[in-house]
Amino acid sequence: MITLLSTWTFGVALGLVALGMFVSYRLFSFADITTDGSFTLGAVVTAVLLVWEVDPAIATLAGMAAGASAGACTGLLHAVLGVEPLLSGILMMTALASVNLVVLGQSNRPLSGTITLFDRADAALLSTVGQIGFSGAAASEAARLGFVLLTATVAVVLLYLFLRTKLGTAMRAGGNMPTMARALGRNTGAMTVAGLAIANALTALSGSLVAQYQGFADVQMGIGMIVWGMASVFLGSALVGSVGLGGAIIGTLAGSVTFRLLVATALRAGLDPDWLKFTTAVVVLAALVVPRLLVRGSQSAAAR
Amino acid sequence: MLEVVAATVTFSAPGSPLIRAVNGVSFTVPAGMFVVMIGTNGSGKSTLLGSIAGTVRLNGGAIRLAGCDVTRWREDQRARFLGRVFQDPRAGTAANLTVLENIAVAACRGRRVGLSWATTRALQSAAAERLAAIAPGLETRLDQPIGSLSGGQRQIVTLVMATWHRPDLLLLDEHTAALDPAAADRVVQATARLVRDHNLTALMVTHSLTQAAALGDRLLLVHRGQIAFDVQGIAKRRLSVDELTERFNRLRSADQLDETAAKTLAERYV
C-alpha cells in the first residue's frame, strides 16, 4: 500500500517536469536539455535554504525562481545570441552542473532535522486522510500524496488559465508559428525566454518537491529528467488523443503517473534498476517512432 | 500611406561580386490606393516587400509608414502599421490554435498583451460576423484548429486577421500563388472586397498577370532591382493582359541580349 502511494506521489511530483516539457517542447518545439540541470537546481537551492532553517514554502519558491532564471538564460542564449535550441540547453545544463555543486557545497545533502513542506502537509492533512480510512504510516504517505496532488492541481489550473489569456495565447501562437506572431506584433524572442522560464520553474518545483519528499538533495538527481518529461508528454498524448488545451495538460500529468506506475511494475517484475534509464530511452524512442510507422502503414494500405 | 525613399539592399557572398537586389527604389503609396506589383524572378520585388515588412534590412534609403520613419524598426514593431498575408497559408496562422484563438492574437496587433481573457464572447460574435460576411460557413468553424482548414480558407481567415484592426498598409505577398485556381479566385475576390469596403491602402505582389491587369489602381513592374514601369489611373484601367505580357517579354529578351553580349565580351577580351 505504502509503495503504491509512494509511486503515485513520485509520479505526480515528476509530472511537474512533464508539464514543463509540455510548455518547452510541445508549445515551443524546444527540446530543452536545461531540464536536467534546473531539476537539480530547484532541489539544491531548496535544500540549502532548508538547512539554513528558512521557511519551506519560501525555500520552495526560491528553488522555482532559480529554475526560472536558468530557463530564461537558455532562452536568451537562443533568442539574443542565436545559439540553436539544443546547444543552448546543453550549455546551460553543463554550466548548471557546476552551479549545483557549488550551491549544495557537497554532492549529497540529507535533509534530516529540517522542516519540509511535507512535514507541514502531514500536520495539515493527517486528520483528513484519517477520515478517509488511512491509518499509521499509510496515513502519513496518503497525506504526502494529497499534498503533491494539490500542488500539481494548482499548477495545472494556473498554467491552463495563463495559456488562455491574451499573453498566453500569443505565446502559444509564437511557439507554433513565429512568422505569424511577428507579423502581428509579437516579439517571439522574448516569448521564448518567458516560455522557457515558466517551463524550468515547473521543473525546478518538481526537483524541490522530490528532494523534500525523499529527504535529501543530490547533484546527480536531475540526470535523464528530460527523457522522463518527454516520455510523459508522449504517453500523455497517447492516453488522451488530440483534445483541447486543457485535456492535453491533464493528459501530460496523467502520462507521468502512468509512466511511473509502468516503471514500478517493471521493477517489481524483476527489471534490473541499472537498466531503468535505458528502458526509458527505448520507451521514448518507441513513442516517437511507432505512431509514424502506423501512419505510414495505413497510408501504404490505403495505396493498395 | 507608404513612402519608400531611395531604398537599396545589397547582398554579398564571399568570392562573388556585390549584388544590388534593390537599387535605389523610390515610390509613394498614398492612403486608400491599391498598388499591384509584378516582376520577373529575381527582380528584387520580394526583397523590396521584405524591406517594407521589416524582414530585410536596408543598406541605404528609408521606409516611412503613416509618416513614421520605420527604417530601423524590427518586424514585430512595424506590425502596428501593417497587415500581412503570406504566400504560404501556413505562415500566416498558427495551425495548433483554433480559428478564434488565431483571430484573438490578430485582435491584439500593435497592442500590449496582458492577462485578460483572449477569447471573449464579444470577440467570438464579432469574428463570426466578419467571417460570415466574407466567407459564409467559416463562422461555424471558430472552435476548430485552423490547421484543419484548407489553404484557401486559411488565407481568407488570414485576410480577416490582417484587417481586423484597419492597417495603415496591407501587404499581400503572392498570397494566392500556393492555391488551386478556384481557391485563388475566391481569395482574390475576398481581397478586392475587403480593400474596397474598408478603403484600405494595399500593396500586392503577384505572379499572375491576369490579377495584375484586373486589380488595383496602380501597377509597378520591378526589374533588376528598379521600377521599370509605373502606371496608374486611366492608363492602368486600360492595361490589358496582352500588353503586360508583351512588356514582360521585352524585358526578358533584353536580359538575354545582355547576357549574350556579356558572354561574347568575356570570351573575346578576358
ipTM of the complex: 0.90
CA angle, residues B183, B186, B192, in degrees to nearest 5: 140
Amino acid identity at A205: L
Structure confidence at residue B211 as a pLDDT band (50, 70, 90): very high
Of A49, A77, A178, the residue nearest B79 (C-alpha): A178
Cβ distance A184 to B97 less than 8 Å, yes or no, reads: no
* Residues of B whose CB is below 8 A from A166: 104, 108, 113-118
Of A168, A169, A183, Cβ closest to residue B92: A183
Q: What is the pLDDT of residues A55-73, one digit of tens each?
A: 999 999 999 999 999 999 9
B62 to A174, B8, B47, B125, B222: CA distances (angstroms)? 29, 9, 14, 41, 18
Determine contact, residues A284/A231, Cβ cutoff 8 Å.
yes
Distance from CA of A289 to the nearest CA of B (A): 21
Cell of B165: 484592426
Cβ distance A165 to B117 less than 8 Å, yes or no, reads: yes
Q: What is the pLDDT of residues B154-169, one digit of tens each?
A: 999 999 999 999 999 9
- The length of chain A in residues reads 304
Distance from CA of B83 to the nearest CA of A (A): 7
Determine contact, residues A209/A152, Cβ cutoff 8 Å.
no
Q: What is the pLDDT of residues B23-38, one digit of tens each?
A: 999 999 999 999 999 9
Instruction: Write down the residue that cell numbers 520507451 correspond to.
Output: A283
Q: Is B87 on the interface with A (CB under 8 A)?
A: no
Determine contact, residues B32/B170, Cβ cutoff 8 Å.
no
Q: Is A184 on the interface with B (CB under 8 A)?
A: yes
Determine contact, residues B26/B32, Cβ cutoff 8 Å.
no
* Phi, psi for B145 (deg, rounded to 5): -60, 140
Of B94, B97, B118, Cβ closest to residue A166: B118
Cell of A276: 531503468
Q: Is A120 on the interface with B (CB under 8 A)?
A: no
Sequence ranges of the domains in chain A: 2-222
* Residues of B whose CB is below 8 A from A167: 113-115
Q: Where are the alpha helices (DSSP H) in A133-224?
A: 136-163, 166-176, 178-183, 188-214
3-state secondary structure of B107: coil
Q: Which CATH class is domain B2-239?
A: alpha beta
Cβ distance A169 to B115 less than 8 Å, yes or no, reads: no
Sequence ranges of the domains in chain B: 2-239
A32 to A7, A38, B17: CA distances (angstroms)? 26, 10, 41
* Residues of B whose CB is below 8 A from A168: 118
Instruction: Write down the residue that cell numbers 481586423 correspond to.
Output: B164
Q: What stretch of H or E contains B227?
A: strand B226-232
Q: Is A179 on the interface with B (CB under 8 A)?
A: yes
- Position A163 scores a pLDDT of 97
Structure confidence at residue B66 as a pLDDT band (50, 70, 90): very high
Please give the mean pLDDT across all residues of chain A.
Answer: 92
Of B144, B127, B130, the residue nearest B198 (C-alpha): B130
In this predicted structure, the answer to whether residue B70 has a pLDDT above a threshold of 90 is yes
Determine contact, residues A145/A9, Cβ cutoff 8 Å.
yes
Select from B65, B108, B161 the residue whose CB has the most chain A CBs within 10 Å, as the one to mutate to test that interface: B108
In this predicted structure, the answer to whether residue B140 has a pLDDT above a threshold of 70 is yes
Please give the mean pLDDT across all residues of chain B.
Answer: 92
CA–CA dist A258, A261 (Å, integer): 5
- Position A299 scores a pLDDT of 62
Of B53, B101, B105, Cβ closest to residue A181: B105
- Position B19 scores a pLDDT of 82
Instruction: Write down the residue that cell numbers 537562443 correspond to.
Output: A78
Determine contact, residues A63/A41, Cβ cutoff 8 Å.
yes
Distance from CA of B155 to the nearest CA of A (A): 12
Determine contact, residues A148/A209, Cβ cutoff 8 Å.
yes
CA–CA dist B121, B69 (Å, integer): 38
Which burial class, exposed, middle or buried, applies to A300 when counting CB atoms under 10 A from its CB (0-12, 13-18, 19+)? exposed
Pairing relation of β-strands B202-205 and B169-173? Answer: parallel
B46 vs A59, higher pLDDT? A59
Amino acid identity at B139: E
Structure confidence at residue B108 as a pLDDT band (50, 70, 90): very high
- Position A197 scores a pLDDT of 98
Instruction: Write down the residue that cell numbers 497559408 correspond to.
Output: B89
Cβ distance A176 to B96 less than 8 Å, yes or no, reads: yes
Q: Is A181 on the interface with B (CB under 8 A)?
A: yes
Q: What percent of chain A is predicted at pLDDT more than 70?
A: 97
Number of A/B CB contacts below 8 angstroms equals: 95
Determine contact, residues B66/B5, Cβ cutoff 8 Å.
no
Low-confidence ranges of chain A (pLDDT < 70): 297-304
CA angle, residues A86, A89, A91, in degrees to nearest 5: 110
In this predicted structure, the answer to whether residue B270 has a pLDDT above a threshold of 60 is no
Give the sign of the dihedral formed by CA A72, CA A74, CA A77, CA A83: negative
Of B74, B110, B113, Cβ closest to residue A170: B113
* Phi, psi for B221 (deg, rounded to 5): -110, 120
Determine contact, residues A206/A16, Cβ cutoff 8 Å.
yes
- Position A303 scores a pLDDT of 52
- Position B34 scores a pLDDT of 96
